[in-house]
Structure 1
Amino acid sequence: MEYRKLGKSELQLSAITYGAFAIGGNMWGGNEEQDSIAAVHAAIDHGMTSIDTAPFYGFGRSEELIGAAIKGKDRSKIQLLTKFGLVWDGSNQGKGEYFFDANDGGRNIPVYKYASKANIIKELEQSLSRLGTDYVDLLQLHWPDATTPIDETMEALDTLISQGKIRAAGVSNYDLAQMKTAGKRIQLASNQLSYSMLNRGIEEDIIPYALEHHIGIIAYSPLERGLLTGKYFKDAALKADDHRNGYFGQFSADKVEAFLDRITPLAESKNASLGQLVLRWTTLQPGITVVLAGARNAAQVIQNARSMDIELSEQDIRFIHTALEEVYNGMNA
């Protein structure tokens, strides 16, 4: 595994970081507790010492499972990344910005974006309790909240750094203008953004800005939630309450399948799966600091970790880019 410095912070994160959205269960068709804990153990054992989660993932369940998994382990060798700013329990008392209704076991639960100073402090204390730790390595705003001034949110993060409760502060899903505003108040360690072979929009403005100002980029959904593994073109059924039933609809299935067919021989020549090839490509893109890879069980985690063993030449990368341009026709590029 390779470890990379996150922005100007002191954090060294694993290039492939374990993404813990799916083990929360909600929106992913449920989860198995023992499989989830085993997945976290496998991540740490195979060098994926950085773990990214959020209170919203399973309405606290993801953080609880991570807390159970790391209990008794050397905390100094694990980097915990969590978030704040999505409220679902009504404690915001009508404040904040309505986001969407989340389905949880057939129940629709209203979720709000809420990033006030008081809410951040409260959410962090809850996260620390669930994770079983007294600090988190990186605390990130989950989604921008238009009802709270950015300066107020950044002030809260700065305070938590000075108190030693977080080691570094980041954001997620911030556009360029929001990054610039936040940067006037605090040195951001990172911005966590959606990025994949099929979704490269941040290359236009955000990545150049991040490189210039030494801000790390954490790429999420590099596999487009499994679409780029190719298995969903081979009769891999999704459960009815899996959000990917709708998510995959934004892409041209025929073009994605044709693109994957084009690069499959390259993966095979590297003794790698499509998913491993895609992850390794993502880690090699300019400005991308670390890449999140989710997994429901230990076997998937190990496969993700081994993607770092793949060597891609400049010629290999050009081949992939040519296939994207010719087969996927530049969509989202």
Structure 2
Amino acid sequence: MEYRTLGNTNLEVSVITHGAFAIGGNMWGGNEKQDSINSIHASLDHGVTSIDTAPFYGFGLSEEMIGEAIKGRDRSKIQILTKFGLVWDGSNHGKGEFFFDAEENGQKIPVYKYASRQSIIKEVEESLQRLGTDYIDLLQIHWPDGTTPISETMEALDLLIQQGKIRAAGVSNYSIEQIQEANKTLKIASNQVSYSMLNQAIEQDLVPYSLENNSGIIVYSPMERGLLTGKYFKETQLKDNDHRNGYFSQFDLQKVKTFLEKIEPIAQEKGATLSQLVLRWTSLQPAITVVLAGARNAQQAIENAKAMSFGLSEEEMNLINTALKEI
């Protein structure tokens, strides 16, 4: 495994970081608890020291399972990255910005973006309890909240740093303008954003900005929720309540299939899977500090970790990039 310093902090994180969205269950068709815990154990045992989660993932379930999985482990060797700012339990009393209706057990649950000072402090206490720890390594706002001044949100994060409850503060899904506004109050460590072979929009602005300002980039959905594994084209039958049924419709699936067939020989030469090749390519892109990779079980977690076990030559990168242009 390779480790990198996150932005302007002294926080060392594993390049492949365990993304714990899917193990929360909601929106992913569910997952077995023991499989989820085993996936975290396998990640930690194979050099993946960082875990990214959020209260929203499973409405607290993801954080709870992480807390259970790391119990008895050396906490100083694990980096917990979690979030705040999506609330669903009515504690915001109608404040904030309506985001969408989530669904659990057939019931609609309104989710709001809400990042007031009081709400952040409350959320952090709840996260610490679920995670079974007394500090969070990186706390990130999950989505921008247009109803709360960014300065108020950053002041709350600064207070939490001073109190020792968080080591560093980051943002997620922020624009350059929002990052600049945040930095007026508190120098943020990173921005967590969507990025993949099929979605390279951040290369236009966020990548050059981050390189110039020594800010980290954490990328989610590098596998486009499993599409770039190639399994979707061979054997996978998604459950009816899996959100990916709609998500995949945005892509030209025939072109994606052709692209994967073109690059698969590179993976085979490395003794690697398509998933590992995609993760490795992503890790080598400019300004990318961390690549989030989800795992529902131990085997998937081990495969993700092994994505860093090989290199890619300039020629191989060029072959991949040339094939990408045809999508």
> TM-score, structure 1 length as denominator?
0.97
Matching of residues 87-98 of structure 1 within 5 Å: 87-98=87-98
Alpha-carbon distance in 1 for matches of 2:191, 2:2:
20
Alpha-carbon distance in 2 for matches of 1:252, 1:235:
19
Is 1:109 matched with 2:109? yes
Secondary structure in structure 2 of the residue aligned to 1:55: coil
Deviations 1:158-186 (A, max 9, x none): 11001000000000000111111111111
Secondary structure in structure 1 of the residue aligned to 2:323: helix
Distance apart, 1:106 and its partner CA: 1.3
Secondary structure in structure 2 of the residue aligned to 1:289: strand
Q: Is the 8 A contact 1:169 1:189 kept in 2?
A: yes
Q: Give the ranges of 4+ consecutive aligned residues of structure 1 lying more than 6 Å apart after TM superposition.
A: none
Deviations 1:168-218 (A, max 9, x none): 000000011111111111111000000000000000111111111111000
Alpha-carbon distance in 2 for matches of 1:157, 1:284:
31
State the number of aligned residues: 327
Secondary structure in structure 2 of the residue aligned to 1:8: coil
Aligned CA-pair RMSD: 0.6
> TM-score, structure 2 length as denominator?
0.99
Alpha-carbon distance in 2 for matches of 1:306, 1:236:
23
Question: Which residue in the other structure is 2:23 paired with?
Answer: 23
Distance apart, 1:235 and its partner CA: 2.7
Question: Which residue in the other structure is 1:294 paired with?
Answer: 294
Question: Which residue in the other structure is 1:175 paired with?
Answer: 175
Alpha-carbon distance in 1 for matches of 2:55, 2:43:
20
Distance apart, 1:100 and its partner CA: 0.4
Alpha-carbon distance in 1 for matches of 2:49, 2:244:
27
Distance apart, 1:152 and its partner CA: 0.4
Q: Which amino acid aligns with 2:219?
A: A
Matching of residues 268-307 of structure 1 within 5 Å: 268-307=268-307
Q: Is the 8 A contact 1:172 1:193 kept in 2?
A: yes
Alpha-carbon distance in 1 for matches of 2:105, 2:235:
25
Distance apart, 1:70 and its partner CA: 0.4
Distance apart, 1:299 and its partner CA: 0.2
Secondary structure in structure 1 of the residue aligned to 2:265: helix
Is 1:311 matched with 2:295? no
- The range that moved more, 262-271 or 54-63, is 262-271
Q: Is the 8 A contact 1:277 1:310 kept in 2?
A: no
Secondary structure in structure 1 of the residue aligned to 2:288: coil
Q: Which amino acid aligns with 1:62?
A: S
Distance apart, 1:97 and its partner CA: 0.2
Alpha-carbon distance in 1 for matches of 2:42, 2:2:
16
Question: Which residue in the other structure is 2:4 paired with?
Answer: 4
Question: Which residue in the other structure is 1:331 paired with?
Answer: none
In structure 2, runs of 5+ residues without a counterpart are: none
Identity %: 69
Question: Which residue in the other structure is 1:140 paired with?
Answer: 140
Q: Which amino acid aligns with 1:320?
A: I
Secondary structure in structure 2 of the residue aligned to 1:93: coil
Deviations 1:91-112 (A, max 9, x none): 1000000000111121111100
Alpha-carbon distance in 2 for matches of 1:103, 1:202:
30
Question: Which residue in the other structure is 2:52 paired with?
Answer: 52
Question: Which residue in the other structure is 1:242 paired with?
Answer: 242
